[in-house]
Amino acid sequence: MLYGELVKVYEALESTSGRLEMTDILAKFFQMADCESLRKIVYLTQGQLYPDFYPQKLGLADKLLLKTIASTSGTNEKNVHELWLKEGDPGTVSERIFEEKRQTTLFSETLTLNRVYEALQRITEAEGSGSQHQKMRLLSDVLHDATPREAKYIARIVTGKMRLGVADMTVIDALSQAFATKEDRDVVERAFNVSSDLGKVGERLCRNGIEGIKEMKVEIGNPIRAMLAERLPSPFEILERMGGRAAFEYKYDGVRVQAHIEGKEITLFSRRLEDLTSQFPDVVKALRSAFRSKSGILEGECVPVDINTGEMLPFQEVSHRRGRKHDLTSAIEEYPVRIFLFDCLHLDGEDLTNKPLLERRRALESCVQTTDEVRTSEMRIVDKIEDADAFFQEALRDGCEGLMAKSVADDSVYRAGSRGFLWIKYKKEYKSEMTDTVDLVVVGAFAGRGRRKGVYGALLMATYNGEEDTFETVCKLGSGFDDQTLASLPSKLEVSRLSEKHPKVHSKLEADFWFEPSMVIEVLGAEITISPIHTCAYSRIRKDAGLAIRFPRFTGRFRDDKGPREATTTAELETMYKNQLKKVDG
């Protein structure tokens, strides 16, 4: 096929904005194309060479393109640059320059689609020393034989600026129109959703018709487009919608990951189908030892945890890992992550996406041996509103953002790429910030790990219970200290060091160091939650649980002006908790 034929289609697409008309233009062209070219046409029309999830991306620097246009056309670089400043679009610049120079082009060979595609492939693949020169040479080669109209689109695509506005859904419509009936559109869309590869879907449709893609199964290595959730504001509405019964799971606040496992080979994809493998080598390693089958596709949420307190951290902490290629090892130490698996889409050659949720869950549990780093999502089958409410409180207490309710009906399949009511998220969009700081007493400390080796990793903090004259723990405090303060703490606390826990301190946690309650410091937390591991107001609000402060931070103020019995009291914290609840419910 000639590249010029594709260029005519681009021009037709550019002169219309109506989706129906665009679909029509594309469908007619798709029908004309041979099946191998069709695959390339689909990618190129979306400004790509491969499906989205391939790491190779087009995106030659504008400067290199302009230089190549100048040298190929024999135009002064300055003139090309001026035109670019005026037009802003590499395509227009290229077209204009080559129009002017058209007469001087001596040898021109008609460009084929394959030749352009291969040149673009080689340009993207060129790496290392001398690669700039090589890219320019390859580009110059095709531009030399291009008509001005062809040069326009070559310039656009090579710089990653195709922008024809052809959405995935338009291509799906056009493919259905070209090779199937209207009724089969859903089949085409599903094939795309399980493969994330429109080029492949197009080629198969062209070769084998609709039957060819009905058989399309999920494949390891091809990310499946993520299933998404609707939202509802209350467990009442959720249960009503789900027929009175649903599986509720913790909704973790992290990064969604789809793990493709084939023996020891593991690839991690993000929700947007980017390859995340190199960012999470620790997760890959942990999955390798936890996965007990031959091959599979698992989904889960990666959540950062504080190495010193073990608490789940807000999602932003994971973002520290992005773009830190050189420093990844220390990022892994500072921000280790756990993965909470919640789905199994493929296991040992069997596509499970059409199986109901609980069957997929059983598959997940059968193939994973949970470890410290690899866990399955906390899940409970619920048919009462009160149970959903209680589970929701537990989820918040454990650092999650709410719950995810999932249908357990027979039709609760994994609906790739679509948002629907088979999954419903339930998170309260409230601000639960503690607006007031609290003054807490240091009663113990934990030895530091990672970067904090040799100093304290976290302090064990308590409120003062005035009625009992005791100190009750409320959080592990590890954030908000600068390096200097951190280094000074051991000597500051040395005077109050004890060989064992002070008799007035109530703690369920075993600290590495104990202190006589004396130092008071100011702390700001995100919210107050119920916790079974802290002793503050123990069993007063919930049986066998106390109150805890989530995400506590040292404000930088040592309250030397306060004695330990002048610290924030247990009763005060209890009142703060109740006030916060009123805000949440209101």
Q: Which amino acid is at 228?
A: L
Q: Is position 339 an interface residue for ligand AMP (rule: CB under 6 A)? A: no
Member of 115, 137, 271, 451 binding ligand AMP (CB under 6 A): 271
Q: Report the distance separating Cα 426 and Cα 448, nearest Å.
A: 36
Q: Is position 10 an interface residue for ligand AMP (rule: CB under 6 A)? A: no
Residue 302, phi then psi, degrees to nearest 5? -90, 125
Q: Which is nearer to ligand AMP, 271 or 428 (CB)?
A: 271
* Smallest separation (angstroms) from ligand AMP to the CB of 528: 23
Q: Is position 425 an interface residue for ligand AMP (rule: CB under 6 A)? A: yes
Pattern 299-338, ligand AMP, x by CB under 6 A: --x-------------------------------------
| Contact of 392 with 242, CB cutoff 8 Å | no
Q: Which is nearer to ligand AMP, 187 or 239 (CB)?
A: 239
**H or E segment and range at residue 200:** helix 198-214
Pattern 273-302, ligand AMP, x by CB under 6 A: ----------------------------x-
- Binding to ligand AMP (CB under 6 A) within 55-84 occurs at none
Q: Which is nearer to ligand AMP, 251 or 502 (CB)?
A: 251
Pattern 228-257, ligand AMP, x by CB under 6 A: -x-------------------xxxx---x-
Q: Which is nearer to ligand AMP, 250 or 471 (CB)?
A: 250
β-strands 438-447, 513-515 pairing: antiparallel
| Contact of 580 with 396, CB cutoff 8 Å | no
Do you know the residue count of the chain? 586
* DSSP summary character for residue 183: G
* DSSP summary character for residue 568: P
Catalytic residue, candidates 152, 200, 251, 355? 251
| Contact of 480 with 506, CB cutoff 8 Å | no
Q: Which is nearer to ligand AMP, 304 or 444 (CB)?
A: 304
CA dihedral 19, 22, 28, 30 (to 10 degrees): -100
Q: Is 251 a catalytic residue?
A: yes
CA dihedral 283, 287, 290, 292 (to 10 degrees): 180
Residue 510, phi then psi, degrees to nearest 5? -95, 105
Q: Report the distance separating Cα 63 and Cα 488, nearest Å.
A: 53
Closest CA to 238 of 424, 412, 427, 429: 424
Member of 72, 94, 147, 377 binding ligand AMP (CB under 6 A): 377
Q: How are the residues of the chain apportioned to helix, strand and coil, as percentages rounded to the nearest 5?
A: 40, 25, 35
- Binding to ligand AMP (CB under 6 A) within 212-231 occurs at 226, 229
Q: Which is nearer to ligand AMP, 50 or 315 (CB)?
A: 315
Site size for ligand AMP (CB under 6 A): 13
Q: Is position 513 an interface residue for ligand AMP (rule: CB under 6 A)? A: no
Q: Is position 342 an interface residue for ligand AMP (rule: CB under 6 A)? A: yes
Active site residues: 251
Interface ranges with ligand AMP (CB under 6 A): 226, 229, 249-252, 256, 271, 301, 342, 377, 404, 425
